[in-house]
């Protein structure tokens, strides 16, 4: 039995297979309309989401299956009345696959340890693999390839999306450049950078981290940013973080240093005037809603793969 915990553990070949399947699912949805018939997905939510819930629930429905929404805030597991292990052992008797969107990555690892059905990471404080699979699908749709492209990430380098994007990009032969403020609270983790350097040695890609936003974005094919205020960050830190990250705001001036045909991405939600300007996210180079749509197709491919239904 296989899980999707992090793209760090998935081989380039596995990622390629899922991306190819996602493309076929998107192109030929009727071929998969009964692929999950009489199958049930349990969706465990500790963190709220628009795209995650809608894409997983719609995806199961479109493949003939059913999804159950389970919020930990009003559950025995969330209140501490029942352990994660007991909850997941029980759930595994009722459903065919589990996805979880949690604060703590260790809680997801515990779920995977005790589950007897596949577990999908729909976001933790450590990683966001489903988002990056959708991102890679979108990039390939727009650019025709992944290997050899320069992907520049600007902003908060010390977060789950950045780390997952680095894993996915370097495994697929991309040149991943991260522009973020210096310091352990803002830059990618050293172990992630080291892992990505090792992945790049085998894929022909590369990884580069700098505190110079112009250097990071120079000649980029893909420009990516994300929220400066992740869920776990206290509200009283907002003003200081905005001041710290403002030099990394993706605006028309910064985009001018990327390639003229560069595409702009944000996994959403987005705040215009913070991590990017309205001119950029609502402009012709932005593909943020194509990117969001691909959550549906990429996650269908993940479910089909893990459940052996492809």
7 lies in a domain? no
- Residue 130 among the catalytic residues: no
- 148 & 287 share domain: yes
**What CATH number does the domain containing 20 carry?**
3.40.50.1370
- CA 17 vs CA 2, 137, 305: distances in Å: 14, 12, 9
- 240 & 141 share domain: yes
Neighbour count for residue 220 (Cβ, 10 Å) = 24
- Residue 51 among the catalytic residues: no
pLDDT digits (tens, 9 = 90+) for 29-40: 999 999 999 999
Among candidate residues 267, 297, 299, 307, the one labeled active-site is 267
Domain span at residue 94 reads 12-127+295-306
4 lies in a domain? no
CA angle 133, 274, 7 (to 5 degrees): 20
The total number of structural domains that make up the chain? 2
pLDDT digits (tens, 9 = 90+) for 62-104: 999 999 999 998 888 877 789 999 999 999 999 999 999 999 9
Predicted model pTM? 0.97
Q: Are 64 and 34 a contacting pair, CB within 8 Å?
A: yes
pLDDT digits (tens, 9 = 90+) for 17-31: 999 999 999 999 999
pLDDT digits (tens, 9 = 90+) for 194-243: 999 999 999 999 999 999 999 999 999 999 999 998 766 788 888 999 99
204 lies in a domain? yes
**DSSP single-letter state for residue 32:** G
68 lies in a domain? yes
202 lies in a domain? yes
Cα dihedral 277, 282, 283, 288, rounded to 10, equals: 100
- Residue 23 among the catalytic residues: no
- Residue 295 among the catalytic residues: yes
Among candidate residues 128, 175, 241, 297, the one labeled active-site is 128
- Residue 257 among the catalytic residues: no
CA angle 192, 196, 201 (to 5 degrees): 155
- 87 & 207 share domain: no
Residues 6 or more apart whose Cβ sits within 8 Å of residue 45: 52, 53, 69, 70, 71, 72, 100, 101
- Residue 38 among the catalytic residues: no
- 149 & 166 share domain: yes
């Amino acid at each position: 039995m296989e899980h999707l915990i992090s793209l760090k553990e998935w081989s380039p070949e596995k990622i390629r297979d899922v991306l190819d399947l996602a493309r076929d699912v998107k192109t030929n949805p009727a071929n998969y309309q009964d692929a999950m018939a009489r199958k049930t997905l349990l969706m465990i939510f500790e963190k709220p989401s628009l795209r995650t819930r809608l894409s997983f629930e719609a995806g199961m429905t479109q493949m003939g299956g059913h999804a159950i929404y389970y919020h930990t805030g009003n559950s025995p597991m969330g209140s501490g009345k029942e352990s994660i292990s007991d909850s997941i052992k029980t759930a595994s008797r009722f459903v065919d696959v589990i996805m979880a969107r949690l604060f703590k990555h260790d809680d997801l690892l515990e779920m995977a340890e005790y589950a007897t059905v596949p577990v999908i990471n729909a976001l933790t404080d450590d990683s966001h693999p489903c988002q990056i699979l959708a991102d890679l699908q979108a990039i390939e749709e727009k650019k025709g390839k992944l290997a050899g492209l320069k992907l520049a990430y600007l902003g908060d380098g010390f977060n789950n999306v950045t780390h997952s994007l680095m894993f996915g990009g370097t495994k697929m032969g991309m040149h991943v450049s991260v522009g973020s403020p210096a310091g352990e609270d803002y830059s990618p983790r050293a172990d992630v950078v080291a892992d990505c350097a090792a992945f790049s040695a085998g894929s022909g890609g590369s990884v580069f981290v700098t505190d110079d936003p112009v250097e990071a974005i120079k000649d980029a094919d893909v420009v990516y940013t994300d929220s400066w205020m992740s869920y776990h960050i206290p509200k009283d830190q907002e003003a200081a973080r905005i001041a710290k990250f403002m030099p990394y705001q993706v605006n028309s001036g910064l985009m001018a240093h990327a390639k003229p045909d560069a595409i702009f991405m944000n996994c959403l939600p987005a705040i215009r005037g913070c991590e990017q300007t309205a001119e950029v996210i609502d402009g012709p180079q932005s593909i943020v809603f194509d990117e969001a749509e691909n959550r549906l197709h990429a996650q269908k491919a993940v479910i089909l793969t893990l459940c052996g239904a492809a």
